[in-house]
Chain A
Amino acid sequence: MKYLALASGLIAATAAVADTPVLTIYTYDSFISDWGPGPAVEKAFEAECACDLQFVGAGDGAALLGRLKLEGARTQADIVLGLDTTLTHDAIATGLFAPHSVSASYDLPVTWDDAYFVPYDWGYFAFVKNADQDGPSNFRELADSPLKIVIQDPRSSTPGLGLLMWVKAAYGDQAPAIWQGLADNIVTVTKGWSEAYGLFLEGEADMVLSYTTSPAYHLIAEQDDSKAAAAFDEGHYMQIEVAGKVAATDQPELADKFLAFMVSDAFQSIIPTTNWMYPAVIPADGLPKGFETLIHPAKSLIVPVDMADAVRAQALEEWLTALSQ
């Protein structure tokens, strides 16, 4: 009798666990690291959803999309979080995503009306330098200067690809000439952001390709104001990071709920000091102290989503040709 009671108790407990709906979110690895937004986001959402939020990390944005393509409609993901505008067109073409119903008043420098993806943060690519170093004010000045830069390879890195799109968006057909001019400034091209940023901190280069928000980390987390971003007058290229609902999800309501949660203050206030990007919707408390010191580009550049694929391929071709000489 006792055993029976114990057994039924166990069954009840398992059933209770099974009854808790699970929302699976695929995202890039740094999102779920101890220092990324993941842990805080999970806590905040689980507090209000009566569900179990599970993150699955998969490399970076491009690897994330690759994984989704490998899994196809059988994917476990309910939501994919962490694609950017160079990838969304490709992502929609897979047919794996469902339209969303979220509306918010975004604080983005551009209007957002994508039917499939909801933005959660954004930033500008920029060259980060030491604050006491005079920075060039555009790519031509940089090319003419003796300044040394370190960048990332567009074939293996998201910022690396961003730079390619930046030069292309700013200069169009002139891009190959810009790259030829930059060739002698480039110390080296690394596999990913970490290697490049590490080289810069070691003093191997005067500037490194990163984000306008990078100095905010040093300022806020390390009380170090020695880093600054160089403002370029031809404008800075934007990276808008987005999430979308997987069409085959078995938790459509929960997924919608998460996307709505994503643009609320609870999520958005986590972003600035964990992902070190601008929140897509500035929370009621505003931006953390220190963000006001960052540069504000006069012009925001972005290649329209539906052209991203074609521009990307051409830009890579030009980049390879210019730097292989």
Chain B
Amino acid sequence: MANRPVAIRRALPGALAAACVAAFVASALGAVLWFAGGGGWPDAADWAALRFTVMQAGLSAVFSVTLAIPVARALARRSFPLRGALIVLLGAPFILPVIVAVMGLLTVFGRSGIVSDFLALLGLPKLSIYGLHGVLLAHVFLNLPLATRILLQGWQDIPAERFRLAATLGMGPAQIQRFLEWPMLRATAPAALLAVFGMCLNSFAVVLMLGGGPKSTTLELAIYQAFRFDFDLGRAATLAAIQALLVGGVVWIALRFTRLDGQGAGMDRPRHIWGAGSRWLRLQDTLLIVLAALFLLVPLGAVVLRGVVGLADVPPSVWGAFGASVSVALVSTVLAVVVSLWVAIAALRWGWTEVLATLGLSVSPLVLGTGLFLMVNPWINPARLAFAVTALVNAVMLIPFALRVIAPALRAIEADYGRQADILGLTGWARMRLLILPRARRGLGFAAGLAAAMSMGDLGVIALFADPHQATLPLQMYRLMGAYRMEAAAGAALILLGGSLALFWIFDRWGRGDAKA
């Protein structure tokens, strides 16, 4: 088949958008460097922090995705009551503010958690999850759902026709794995790895909370030190730049290793559960689903229980904050999804656009916020831009995730239908309306749900731009905690969880709406 690049005209808006994202990040870094009057060279401790950051993020990504593969497969080939609800619920951990998620996790794995209590009954010592293993456990808890969802999407994107073909060829699970699933994973797993790696790279509170001490110093913490202790902005900016370059490199490599052979198109036939398989296989899948559900839902249950108790203590201001967070989430979601769609189109022609647009993944929130502040402050009171900056920063940080979902979907559409659309002269808005939007709807819905839910969490809370009159929900929750009101904070966390899940569900649902038509 002839390889046909997308016309420059179609790729230009996305390339421009990607360049804007990169310029946004670069100018913030540049503003900090300019203010500092130059960079500062990282010391040995900073390099150690960089190594540790990359190591923990890499290990977290590998563990999360490795575990997600069998779980996603089990979910893909089994149907059972409440399967849809379970899949939505499994998405909950990664949208929670980390402190809430970790508290939930501790009710199971903590020193006075369920597992420790059980061990104590047997006369065994308590479980200690503080250390690298604890960090990894928490990161798997937070990101297994994300990886599972991305991979599950991949499974669902294999047309039903392929499985029918496999069935007629008498393929067993092993052959299906080799001929259908492995090629799909080659295309999807790098995206999942990258998404989790990105999440863990800036995961600073989790690492600190469970890492057990300064042995687990991440780069973001080194940046904090440069800021707060030494007020060495040059070094902070240098560290942030190193991190950005590193992530850019990883993205580049991951994209090169992603094999882009499409699955071929199907006729949107309703899926049916194929190869019910042996009893052993069924048992294995059931076990996997139950284990994953327990691992993810028991800590979540603890969050919900605590939150229900605290709901009565929640002050009215929390509801105002909820409204503010929902508005921020909706604006950043629209921004992130639209830009991702453009960039995904541009990436069909120029791979580097995807790398540029992903830079938001890597940049230290502290440095980004400081740079923006330096750029804005001489002209306008930053507090007046609180909403806009929060939404914008959220969007920039969400684009990499939305892009991971949307780009493969677009590649598939172009591979399967691009030539027919070309020969029909389907261009511009008509192509968007009649081909891309309907075919990418599932991916767009999922990406939007993901973006909205994550945006409800604590991505873009930048203290320098705080609105004195209207806090976002995560900020309000932290304020409650800071004022000893842990129960009320738990109630606020439950509201946050409920709101995020609802937003996710609504968008994801919209995306799947077309499937049966």
Question: Which residues of A pack against B, CB within 8 Å?
Answer: 29-30, 32-36, 54-59, 62-63, 66-67, 69-71, 74, 76, 90, 148, 153, 155-156, 183, 186-195, 197-199, 201-205, 214, 217-218, 221, 276, 312-313, 316, 319-320, 323-324
Beyond A153-B208, A153-B214, whether A35 also contacts B483 by CB under 8 A is yes
CB distance from A99 to the nearest CB of B (A): 23
Bits for B477-517, please: 1 = Cβ < 8 Å to A, else 0. 01111111110000000000000000000000000000000
The digit string for B312-352, where 1 denotes a CB below 8 A from any CB of A, is 00010100000000000000000000000000000000000
Indicate if the CB atoms of B481 and A197 lie closer than 8 Å. yes
Q: Which of A32, A74, A188 has the most CB of B within 10 A?
A: A188
CA distance A197 to B258 in the complex (A): 44
Measured between beta carbons, the chain B residues less than 8 angstroms from A71 are 377
- Interface membership of chain B positions 187-222, coded 1 if the CB is closer than 8 angstroms to chain A and 0 otherwise: 000000000000000001100111111110000010
Chain B nearest Cβ from A273, distance in angstroms: 11
Residues in B with CB closer than 8 Å to A191 are 204-205, 208-209
Q: In the complex, are the beta carbons of B482 and A70 less than 8 A apart?
A: no
Interface residue tally on B, bucketed by range: 35 or more
The verdict on B243 contacting chain A, using a C-beta distance below 8 Å, is: no
Known: A76-B381, A155-B221, A316-B229. A202 touches B468 (CB 8 A): no
The interface residues of chain B lying within 8 Å CB-to-CB of A276 are 484
A67 to B465 CA separation, bound complex (whole angstroms): 11
Of A54, A63, A312, the residue contacting B463 (CB under 8 A) is A63
Of residues 272 to 325 in B, which have CB atoms within 8 Å of A's CB atoms? 315, 317
A156 and B481 form a contact (CB under 8 A): no
Contacts of B23 in A (CB 8 A): none
A188 touches B130 (CB 8 A): yes
Q: Are B483 and A319 in contact (CB under 8 A)?
A: no
> When the two chains form their complex, are residues B486 and A198 in contact, meaning their CB atoms are under 8 A apart?
yes
Known contacts: A56-B383, A57-B466. The answer to whether A203 contacts B110 by CB under 8 A is yes
A203 (CB) vs chain B CBs: closest residue: B112
List of B residues within 8 angstroms of A148 by Cβ: 111
| Assembly CA distance A71 to B208 (angstroms) | 30
Q: Does B163 touch A at the CB level, under 8 Å?
A: no
Tell yes or no: B24 within 8 A of A by CB.
Answer: no
Min Cβ gap A44→B in Å is 18
| Residue from A54, A76, A194, A214 having most chain B Cβ neighbours under 10 A | A194
Q: Does B228 contact A (CB under 8 A)?
A: yes
Q: What B residues does A199 contact at CB under 8 A?
A: 103, 106, 209
Check A188/B210 contact, CB under 8 A, given A34-B479, A155-B224.
yes
Bound-state CA distance A55–B468 (Å) is 7
Instruction: Decide yes or no: A70 and B374 within 8 Å by CB, A56-B383, A189-B208, A217-B484 being known contacts.
Output: yes
